[in-house]
């Protein structure tokens, strides 16, 4: 860890470097590849780190006698920040308390590429980056267990209940297959394929969608339980397809997964339209991701040119923004070497 506090934080915007003591923390977003909603009923889900969208937090001494924050939604005294930043207040307080750090007034700056409320784990990622930045500021290390414990506390404030997926995946470089009743298992996703992520531009409504499924389950228990079983089986088959490095099979399973989510009533016309556009453009598979009723759609493409074409079609169908993720580890390594 650089303790000179004079580090060249080249990834930190294009602003000129200053000489103030600075702590930096970075975290990425997450994407649920398959199994959302079924995971609520203890079936498996697969989630992957999505490093294309990141958040960076910078911590410096405050110019005032109180802690200040500068983020896209609020700028000013941290104590007086709106309630939707209470998760970050909790993350800061727990980090300082548990590490027994001094509490001089700090200035916290948040730069995020992760859209909020799209099922990409924005709140968990900001907490992870903030905790890392505070620890970096004080020259302290933090282990994954401690980092996740604090993030989960902050997530409980942000979302009341949390499956823990966002915390796990935004704080790790590895994909996970996750089941509520079991320890998450991490693995490397390495496929000759591209993932296209498309933001529908609509806020995802996870809580509403989870409640909708729970209500449907009361009136149509056999149908919902059967659908969850089937989605769980698709996820297990998808995990095998990933291990066999078969993007075609994975794509098929993603599409089947979307069909079931649609039948459960957690898709909507806009998401279906974007999913259809991806299919028509030749995607190996496409589905909504996360809680649904808004949020994002993902599609699998066999190569970069194919991914670009699919992304264009998804934008023509209404997606506000698209991102591409190369799923080949070898090519990812080459790309980061060129950066
Ligand atoms: O919208 P997200 O990314 O928070 O995903 C929600 C996933 C659900 O399975 C619908 C709910 C959950 O807590 O796992």
Query: Could you list the pLDDT tens digit for every one of the 339 residues in the chain?
Result: 233 223 333 444 444 556 789 999 999 999 999 999 999 999 999 999 999 999 999 999 999 999 999 998 899 999 999 999 999 999 999 999 999 988 889 999 999 999 998 999 999 999 999 999 999 999 999 999 999 999 999 999 888 767 788 999 999 999 999 998 999 999 999 999 999 999 999 999 888 999 999 999 999 999 999 999 999 999 999 999 999 999 999 999 999 999 999 999 999 999 999 999 999 999 999 999 999 999 999 999 999 999 999 999 999 999 999 999 999 998 888 877 665
Atom of ligand 1 nearest to the CA of 36: 9
Which tokens sit at 45? 């889900």
The vertex-47 CA angle with 249 and 165, nearest 5°, equals 155
pTM: 0.90
Q: Which residues line ligand 1 (CB under 6 A)?
A: 32, 36-37, 39-40, 119, 163, 165, 204, 206, 210, 290-291
Q: How many CA atoms lie within 13 A of 227 on its CB side?
A: 23
Mutating to test ligand 1, I would choose from 53, 167, 210, 268 the residue with most ligand atoms within 8 A of its C-beta, which is 210
Distance (Å, whole) CA 282 – CA 197: 15
Pick from 247, 274, 251: nearest CA to 262: 274
């Amino acid at each position: 860890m650089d303790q000179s506090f004079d580090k060249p934080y080249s990834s930190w915007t294009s602003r000129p470097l200053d000489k103030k003591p600075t702590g930096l923390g970075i975290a990425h977003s997450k994407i649920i590849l398959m199994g959302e909603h079924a995971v609520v009923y203890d079936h498996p889900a697969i989630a992957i780190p999505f490093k294309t969208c990141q958040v960076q937090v910078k911590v410096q001494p405050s110019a005032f006698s109180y802690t200040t924050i500068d983020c896209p939604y609020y700028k000013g005294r941290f104590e007086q920040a709106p309630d939707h930043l209470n998760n970050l207040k909790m993350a800061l307080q727990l980090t300082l308390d548990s590490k027994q750090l001094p509490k001089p007034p700090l200035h916290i700056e948040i730069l995020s590429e992760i859209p909020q409320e799209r099922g990409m784990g924005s709140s968990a990622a900001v907490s992870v980056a903030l905790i890392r930045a505070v620890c970096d500021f004080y020259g302290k290390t933090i282990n994954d267990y401690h980092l996740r414990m604090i993030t989960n506390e902050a997530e409980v404030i942000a979302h009341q209940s949390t499956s823990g997926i966002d915390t796990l995946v935004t704080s790790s470089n590895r994909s996970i297959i996750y089941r509520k009743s079991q320890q998450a298992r991490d693995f490397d996703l390495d496929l000759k394929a591209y993932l296209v992520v498309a933001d529908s531009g609509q806020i995802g409504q996870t809580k509403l969608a989870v409640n909708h499924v729970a209500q449907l389950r009361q009136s149509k228990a056999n149908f919902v339980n059967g659908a969850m079983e089937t989605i769980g089986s698709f996820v297990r088959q998808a995990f095998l397809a990933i291990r066999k490095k078969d993007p075609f099979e994975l794509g098929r399973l993603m599409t089947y997964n979307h069909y079931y989510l649609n039948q459960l009533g957690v898709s909507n016309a806009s998401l279906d339209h974007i999913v259809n556009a991806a299919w028509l453009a030749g995607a190996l598979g496409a589905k909504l991701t996360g809680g649904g009723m808004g949020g994002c759609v993902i599609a699998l493409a066999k190569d970069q040119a194919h991914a670009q074409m699919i992304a264009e079609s998804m934008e023509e169908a209404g997606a506000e923004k698209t991102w591409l993720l190369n799923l080949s580890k070898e090519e990812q390594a080459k790309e980061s070497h060129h950066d």
